[in-house]
Amino acid sequence: MVGMNEINRSYQPINSYGVIGDCHSTVLISPDGSVDWGCLPDFDSPAIFCRLLDAEHGGYFQIAPTGGNIPGSQRYLRGSNVLQTRFASTFGEIVLTDFMPVETLEAWPYKAMNNNTWRAHEDGSCHCLVRIVECTHGEMPVTVSLKVSPDYAATPSEVALIADNKGAMISSAQQHVALAMIGADLLASCTMDVAQAADEWHQTITVQATLREGERLLFALGMGRSAQAARRLVEVELHQRNFDVELAHTLHCWRQWLAGCTYQGPYSEWVHRSALALKMMTYAPTGAIVAAPTTSLPEELGGVRNWDYRFTWLRDATFTLYALNVLGFTAEARAFTHWLRNLSYTDGEDLQIMYGIRGERELAEQELHHLSGYCGSSPVRIGNAAAQQKQMDVFGEVLDCIHLYRRQGGFERYGEKLEGPLWQMMQTLVEHVCAHWQEPDSGIWEVRGGLRHYVYSKVMCWVALDRGIRAAQQLNLDADLPRWIMIRDQIRADILCHGYDTSIGAFTQSYGSAALDASTLLLPLVGFIPPDDPRMRSTVDRIMESLTDKHGFVYRYLSDDGLSGGEGTFTLCTFWLVDNLAMQGRLDEARSLFERLLTYAGRLGLFSEEIEAQSNEALGNYPQAFTHIALINSAQNLRKAEIRLSEHHTDPVIAAIRLQKR
Ligand SMILES: OC[C@H]1O[C@H](O[C@H]2O[C@H](CO)[C@@H](O)[C@H](O)[C@H]2O)[C@H](O)[C@@H](O)[C@@H]1O
């Protein structure tokens, strides 16, 4: 029997989902108890749950009160990525606890490329999704519906129920899923059935039970490398594990990791949630970081701007490390520098702007026409053609990331040195920038409408030279310093001459264009220009006048980008505006914009990429690293600005007191 939960259910708001993960992958869980997105065992594995991208055909795993009419409310257990969903009625209450067990959250310094989950655990036995449903009060009938749709619902599957209500196996050509059910033998009533709609490739397993106070069922879902491995998991291995101990250990790991956070200041709960979300997006075996764990959540409802973010952009990853560094987390930066050292490239020319989580170069973009997309937003894409683009900013971002890591004593802390392969890499990248900074590129936003001389790309070429020069000067390293310094100054002069439009009073998107671009808000943040330089002040004013919606939230740009349709405001950019206002001393405006923006997070404090200007809905992939990075940085910048302002204001008062005393 198909549970009522399946009826009348379409798409849930993007930012209503809870997200859990184990630093190999994540799953998204709706407030009605349904895992609607899940790629297991790794971020880039084909999705086995994709109801998020096709409400009709996509697989899901839902645990909820039978009837589906009791709303659930979600929260994270303090300081962790363990999620609880509570369903309460006058007759009783059930609590669903969802987690992915972790053995350790230590960032692993890179060992060998292709060292993925499968190699670490041949049968995938460590990595699983655990769902515990428990009645905490009264009694409640519960329905569990599991439809696994392997390979993004592109291939058929077969279900085999395992005797004695032990669980089930779901197998397709490539993917083998094991579901263990633990605790059914202690319940008075518990049934497990399987049904298949005539037009469906995938069967739905339904478990029904009435839970009374203190009773519970536990489901552990793991991936087997083969059908036999999956069978072993269901029949033996998953049943032998003590998931209560694993839950306690997982909670301990998250809390212990968060205890390393040195941030003290306002909005600390938001900062902590963002840090936990970012950590969840790291891929432990290689130190890589994904931009987001989803694909194709649309930038416009019903539109075509749907991209796969389950990869490592040098830009997004280095920004993530800034933010983690700001909070005192350095092990992740170390793991990432190891990943960087091991990337395959021969010179700056063939350094890609993004790689797969194991350093894969080949990320061919494909459209999955059999999926209708979130709220009909198609095409659904996997892979990302931006991997082949030329984006000159990435050199500056990589060098700035290493610079920051060095400045914070990262190398000394781990008994490592910048000298050697990493300095060779830096030199190669600086030399590449010296030779190519005058060329047009696709820019930070990866637009698909042709190459231009983007101002932000040029600024990041300046950053690449600047950070290379500082490292060479401070560590006495081998470099052609006079030439590097000359080119750095030449780039700066070029930008000030061609990138600033005196008639509008703003740094522009690209040379020769009057279009505004929010990426110019980064100029003072990377040290290219002081925040209170008149040119920067007027750029900020122009952006506030012409590049914002009615809430004051910032669009990336409004110029043509070669794609059809439009998009929402880009939350990362709104946080950059907060930073600029704070750095200019416009603290009230900065704080009010920051706090307004926080009200647009989901109930769990998570953000996607964009916000729709009219409906206020969350848009784009979720949770997005960019947004959480920027939230952390803005909280920090607000704090710094507050300190600066208070020092400034108290000085005369203190001086006056001193004078009176004298
Ligand atoms: O706008 C078109 C491009 O959109 C995506 O790029 C965006 O996401 C990246 C990952 O977070 C980010 O680095 C970039 O700045 C964003 O513009 C998409 O990945 C591209 O394929 C697409 O061309």
Kindly report, residue by residue over 94-124, the tens digit of the pLDDT.
999 999 999 888 876 655 444 445 444 544 4
Q: Ligand 1 centroid to 292 CA: how many Å?
A: 11
Do 242 and 276 sit in the same domain of this protein?
A: no
pLDDT at 333: 83
Q: pLDDT confidence of 656, banded at 50, 70, 90?
A: very low
- What tokens does 126 get? 């460590």
Do 470 and 420 sit in the same domain of this protein?
A: yes
CB atoms near residue 552 (< 10 Å) = 15
- Residue after which a domain boundary falls, among 226, 256, 286: 256
Contact 471, 477 (CB under 8 A): yes
Residue type, 237: E
Give how many domains the chain has, as a whole number.
2
**Domain contains 112:** no
pLDDT at 4: 37
110: left (phi over 0), alpha (psi -120 to 50) or beta: beta
Q: pLDDT confidence of 579, banded at 50, 70, 90?
A: very high
Determine if ligand 1 sits within 6 Å of the CB of residue 315: yes
pLDDT greater than 50 at residue 643: yes
Nearest CA residue ID for atom 7, ligand 1: 445
- Sheet of 610-611: strand order equals 569-570, 610-611, 618-619
Find the mean pLDDT for residues 491-503: 98
**Domain contains 113:** no
Do 208 and 129 sit in the same domain of this protein?
A: yes
Q: Ligand 1 centroid to 548 CA: how many Å?
A: 20
Residue type, 166: K
Q: Ligand 1 centroid to 447 CA: how many Å?
A: 8
pLDDT at 599: 97
Q: Is the peptide bond before 150 cis (omega within 30 degrees of 0)?
A: no
CB atoms near residue 470 (< 10 Å) = 14
Contact 85, 31 (CB under 8 A): yes
Q: pLDDT confidence of 414, banded at 50, 70, 90?
A: confident
- Tell how strand 216-224 and strand 92-99 pair up: unpaired
Q: pLDDT confidence of 465, banded at 50, 70, 90?
A: very high
Find the mean pLDDT for residues 330-345: 81
Mean pLDDT of the residues in the chain: 92
pLDDT greater than 60 at residue 320: yes
Do 248 and 270 sit in the same domain of this protein?
A: no
Task: Among 281, 305, 306, 307, say which to mutate for ligand 1: greatest number of ligand atoms within 8 Å of CB.
Answer: 307
Give the DSSP letter string of 478-491: ---HHHHHHHHHHH
pLDDT tens digits along 299-308: 999 999 999 9
Do 595 and 524 sit in the same domain of this protein?
A: yes
Handedness of CA 464, 469, 475, 479 (dihedral sign): positive
pLDDT at 76: 98
Do 638 and 523 sit in the same domain of this protein?
A: yes
**Domain contains 621:** yes
265: left (phi over 0), alpha (psi -120 to 50) or beta: left
Q: What is the ipTM of this complex?
A: 0.94
Mutual orientation of helices 421-436 and 331-341 as an angle, nearest 10°?
70
Determine if ligand 1 sits within 6 Å of the CB of residue 76: no
pLDDT at 5: 43
Do 411 and 465 sit in the same domain of this protein?
A: yes
Range with the poorest average pLDDT among 277-291, 443-457, 566-580: 277-291
Do 60 and 179 sit in the same domain of this protein?
A: yes
- Residue after which a domain boundary falls, among 256, 283, 314: 256
pLDDT at 650: 54
**Domain contains 109:** no
Q: pLDDT confidence of 288, banded at 50, 70, 90?
A: confident
Find the mean pLDDT for residues 611-622: 96
Q: In a 10 Å sphere around its CB, with 0-12 CB exposed, 13-18 middle and 19+ buried, how is residue 66 labelled?
A: middle
Q: Which atom of ligand 1 is nearest the CA belonging to 625?
A: 11
Do 614 and 478 sit in the same domain of this protein?
A: yes
pLDDT tens digits along 131-186: 999 999 999 999 999 999 999 999 999 999 999 999 999 999 999 999 999 999 99
Size of the chain, expressed as the number of residues it contains: 662
- Residue after which a domain boundary falls, among 256, 277, 312: 256
pLDDT at 573: 98
Determine if ligand 1 sits within 6 Å of the CB of residue 307: yes
**CA gap 600, 622 in Å, rounded:** 14
- Tell how strand 83-88 and strand 92-99 pair up: antiparallel
Do 386 and 525 sit in the same domain of this protein?
A: yes
**Domain contains 1:** no
pLDDT at 649: 60
Q: What range does the domain containing 627 cover?
A: 266-661
Rounded to 5°, angle at Cα 437 from 433 and 442? 105
CB atoms near residue 379 (< 10 Å) = 15
Q: Which residues of 504-522 are buried (b: 16+ CB within 10 A; e: fewer)?
A: eebbbbbbebebbbbbbbb
Nearest CA residue ID for atom 19, ligand 1: 307
User: What pTM, to 2 d.p., does this model score?
Assistant: 0.93
Q: Which atom of ligand 1 is nearest the CA belonging to 308?
A: 19
Residues 6+ apart with CB under 8 A from 563: 304, 305, 447, 448, 449
**CA gap 305, 296 in Å, rounded:** 8
- Percent of the chain exceeding pLDDT 90 equals 79
pLDDT tens digits along 234-279: 999 999 999 999 999 999 999 999 999 999 989 999 999 999 999 9
- HEC sequence for 102-140: CCCCCCCCCCCCCCCHHHHCCCCCCCEEEEEEEEEEEEE
Helix (H) or strand (E) segment spanning residue 334: helix 331-341
Q: Ligand 1 centroid to 41 CA: how many Å?
A: 25
Find the mean pLDDT for residues 49-73: 96
Strands (DSSP E) contained in 272-376 are 282-283, 288-289, 312-313, 354-355, 366-368
**Domain contains 155:** yes
**Domain contains 67:** yes
Q: Ligand 1 centroid to 604 CA: how many Å?
A: 25
Give the DSSP letter string of 564-582: SS---EEHHHHHHHHHHHH
**CA gap 4, 279 in Å, rounded:** 36
- Percent of the chain exceeding pLDDT 70 equals 93
Find the mean pLDDT for residues 559-580: 96
3-state helix, strand, coil in the chain (%, to 5): 40, 20, 40
**Domain contains 607:** yes
Do 404 and 273 sit in the same domain of this protein?
A: yes
Q: Which CATH number is 408's domain given?
A: 1.50.10.10
pLDDT at 8: 54
pLDDT greater than 50 at residue 391: yes
pLDDT at 336: 82
Do 159 and 281 sit in the same domain of this protein?
A: no
The residue behind tokens 């339904």 is 206
Q: pLDDT confidence of 209, banded at 50, 70, 90?
A: very high
Residue type, 482: P
